[in-house]
């Protein structure tokens, strides 16, 4: 199911990892305001889903990473610990599977998809 997923040499933002869970399109947009509902919509099949993070219980204060807030419309998630939007991608293994680092509280987080609803 991940055959269409190609990771670039330097995945660095959520838009490099987030794909529609149903059709695997990369045309995923976050149409709401930062820090609102985190409801994302697939531009191909109109599926909607929430992008969330989960705490791993780990912290990383050593990595020299200073992430910025995502551009408007780009896939956006908030830190599960402090709600910051400044998340950096630490590693990724497949689409929608990533380890993130919060630039504010330095919590290590896992990306997750919730409330997936097919487009009508």
Contact positions vs Zn ion (CB under 5 A): 20, 22-23, 25, 32, 36-37, 42, 44-45, 47, 79, 81-82, 84, 102, 104-105, 107
Which one, 9 or 62, has the nearer CB to Zn ion? Answer: 62
Closest distance to Zn ion from the beta carbon of 65 (Å)? 13
In whole angstroms, give the CA distance from residue 75 to residue 40: 7
Instruction: Give yes or no for a contact between 87 and 102, defined as CB atoms under 8 angstroms apart.
Output: yes
Which one, 79 or 98, has the nearer CB to Zn ion? Answer: 79
Closest distance to Zn ion from the beta carbon of 29 (Å)? 11
Among residues 22, 57, 59, the alpha carbon closest in space to that of 40 is found at: 22
Which one, 98 or 102, has the nearer CB to Zn ion? Answer: 102
Per-residue tokens: 19: 């794909």
Element (H, E) at 58: strand 48-59
Closest distance to Zn ion from the beta carbon of 104 (Å)? 5
């Amino acid at each position: 199911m991940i055959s269409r997923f190609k990771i670039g040499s330097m995945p660095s933002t959520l838009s490099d990892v987030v794909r529609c869970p149903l059709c695997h399109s990369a045309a995923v947009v976050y149409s709401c305001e930062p820090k609102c509902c985190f409801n994302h919509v697939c531009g191909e099949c109109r599926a909607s889903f929430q992008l969330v993070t989960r705490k791993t219980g780990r912290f990383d204060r050593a990595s020299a990473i200073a992430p910025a807030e995502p551009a408007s419309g780009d896939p956006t998630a908030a830190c599960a610990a402090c709600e910051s939007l400044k998340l950096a991608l630490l590693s990724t293994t497949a689409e929608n599977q990533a380890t993130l680092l919060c630039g504010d509280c330095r919590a290590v987080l896992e990306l997750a998809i919730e409330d997936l609803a097919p487009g009508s």
